[in-house]
A and B are shown apart, each in its own frame.
Chain A
Amino acid sequence: MEGLEHILSEHAFFEGISAENRQLVSGCARYHSFNAGQYLFREGELANEFFLIRHGKVALEIVAPGQAPIIFATLGEGEIVGASWLVPPYRWTFDARAVEFTRAIGIDAACLRGKCEADHHLGYEMMKRFLPILVQRLHATRLQILDVYGKR
């Protein structure tokens, strides 16, 4: 447990978190590694974990029938993958694939949701960290939709 807590303390997502909350979170955490090409999860699967990337690169993709997958975002060291675990029905809405060898910490979603229900201070702490990331990604997505490099 100590090793995981240490890794969490060094990850950008948990910067400044209290020791107490960090300990709570690390109780739901475990190590992961993915080879290049391996999927972290697929669209439609149960979102029972979210990932803190320690090293490597993960591509978020969407597949349409008859078409090759389109990557709409890549995430790397210090970033987190997955927000669907927060929102019922807790199912992934896209694929996540390791582009290169990737090491990550997985946080069990049911475990963390349970702890947040029991301790609202922990719950609020997690919300405060997730929301700015989601807002920033929404903003970036809007820019991508604008297709600014395309022809008018």
Chain B
Amino acid sequence: MNEAKVVITYDGLQGLVDGLAARGYQVLGPTVRDGAIVYDAIARVDDLPAGWTDRQEAGRYSLERRNDGALFGFAVGPQSWKRLLHPPIETVWTSRKDENGITITTEDRTYPKFAFLGLRACEIHAIAIQDRVFCEGAYPDVAYEMRRQDTFVVAVNCGQAGGTCFCVSMQTGPKAVSGFDLVLTELLNQGSHDFLVEAGSEAGAELLAQVPHHLASDAQLVSAEAVIERTASGMGRRLETDGIKELLQSNLNHPRWDEVAERCLSCGNCTMVCPTCFCTTIEDNSDLAGASAERVRKWDSCFTMDFTYIHGGSVRKTARSRYRQWMTHKLASWIDQFGMSGCVGCGRCITWCPVGIDITAEAAAIRAAPHAVKGDHHGGS
């Protein structure tokens, strides 16, 4: 879109929210609850986490008060938008059994129209990655497509890098360059609280046109660029991505996997908070009488003991093999499967790991000593 960049006020932001509600969207955005930033329904701009920021480190997360009233002055919380587009539980179909046999029924479903307010660049990439997984294979996930097609995205360029962020390494941010209907950059200066807005679609431009706005001044454009540059230079982590696929795929027996296995609890937190992890399981349940049954699809994690169960045992019995699977899938196999990395550098897995395992540190350790072997070697006949 070649629209000029415009500026709206705090009240203008409320106008966007009202406009979305009037168009039948469920507006969702960040809120403070239970000591974390979680996504919930937004009716008023005041519902947003004004004046809050987050402190994130490996295995640690807490909210702190800012000394200003920034609405988006934090990175990302434990949830990602995937719980809305790719819900944790979904009934796929129900069936009945009688003297004539089985009948299977799918229900007509209505899908809500979501408007996501405050989507970050890394999260836009995460959604694009899940689009690739669910929409572009031989068997598109119809329910996902239906949920996705009406989604309105109001993105926000991050004004504050998180302690575990590395979107710069993954080339997924901090600036949102596509995948949005509107993108905001929060401009908080002495006495003014405005938002630089850019439309990324006709729907975005049309909504923006209805809210009072004026062309951005040069000073405001410079200010917005400075926000993004400040964020980019404040990344908490780095991941060297050069040749990472070959590096990990040729080091499947590296001793570092044994080392991380001693720390990893196989709790699966990383897979729950990761915005791109997509694994599910299928559960077939029936009532006690055996007359009705249903199929339910639920989030699953490759860290569970029976994820790979076959013929009386699991292929990946050890924590070592399961951690290796998660990390090599995320950073290496994903590229073979979908033509892009599975990681967007949001840092959630680092923050929410109870023992603080850091994917960037693990990758760096293997890169520092590739093809290392364990101390002793045993032959056998």
Q: How far apart are B117's CB and chain A's nearest CB, in angstroms?
A: 52
Contacts of A152 in B (CB 8 A): 311-313
Alpha-carbon gap, A138 to B380, bound state (A): 13
The B299-347 residues at the A interface (CB cut-off 8 A) are 311-313
B381 contacts chain A at the CB level, 8 A cutoff:
yes
Q: How far apart are A127's CB and chain B's nearest CB, in angstroms?
A: 16
Q: How far apart are B306's CB and chain A's nearest CB, in angstroms?
A: 14
Indicate the size class of the contact surface on chain B: under 10
Contacts of A138 in B (CB 8 A): 381
A146 contacts chain B at the CB level, 8 A cutoff:
no
Residue of A nearest to B312 (CB): A152
Contacts of B312 in A (CB 8 A): 151-152
Q: How far apart are A122's CB and chain B's nearest CB, in angstroms?
A: 25
Residue of B nearest to A138 (CB): B381
Contacts of B311 in A (CB 8 A): 152
A135 touches B381 (CB 8 A): yes
Alpha-carbon gap, A135 to B313, bound state (A): 30
Q: How far apart are A140's CB and chain B's nearest CB, in angstroms?
A: 14
Alpha-carbon gap, A1 to B381, bound state (A): 39
The B3-23 residues at the A interface (CB cut-off 8 A) are none
Alpha-carbon gap, A92 to B381, bound state (A): 24
Alpha-carbon gap, A7 to B176, bound state (A): 83
Alpha-carbon gap, A135 to B312, bound state (A): 31
Q: How far apart are A39's CB and chain B's nearest CB, in angstroms?
A: 32
Alpha-carbon gap, A135 to B381, bound state (A): 8
Alpha-carbon gap, A138 to B381, bound state (A): 9
Q: How far apart are B41's CB and chain A's nearest CB, in angstroms?
A: 50
Contacts of B381 in A (CB 8 A): 135, 138
Q: How far apart are B256's CB and chain A's nearest CB, in angstroms?
A: 32
Residue of A nearest to B381 (CB): A135
The contact string, 1 if C-beta is below 8 Å from chain A, for chain B 368-381, is 00000000000001
Q: How far apart are A134's CB and chain B's nearest CB, in angstroms?
A: 11
Q: How far apart are B309's CB and chain A's nearest CB, in angstroms?
A: 11
Alpha-carbon gap, A88 to B312, bound state (A): 44
Residue of B nearest to A135 (CB): B381
Alpha-carbon gap, A120 to B283, bound state (A): 70
Alpha-carbon gap, A140 to B381, bound state (A): 12
Residue of B nearest to A139 (CB): B381
The contact string, 1 if C-beta is below 8 Å from chain B, for chain A 112-152, is 00000000000000000000000100100000000000011
Alpha-carbon gap, A152 to B311, bound state (A): 7
The contact string, 1 if C-beta is below 8 Å from chain A, for chain B 346-381, is 000000000000000000000000000000000001
Alpha-carbon gap, A117 to B108, bound state (A): 88
Residue of B nearest to A151 (CB): B312
Q: How far apart are A137's CB and chain B's nearest CB, in angstroms?
A: 13
Contacts of B313 in A (CB 8 A): 152
The contact string, 1 if C-beta is below 8 Å from chain B, for chain A 40-61, is 0000000000000000000000
Q: List 6 A-B contacts (CB under 8 A).
A: A135-B381, A138-B381, A151-B312, A152-B311, A152-B312, A152-B313
Binding site for B on A (CB under 8 A): 135, 138, 151-152
Binding site for A on B (CB under 8 A): 311-313, 381
For the complex of A and B, 6 pairs with smallest distance between CB atoms:
A152-B312, A152-B311, A152-B313, A135-B381, A151-B312, A138-B381
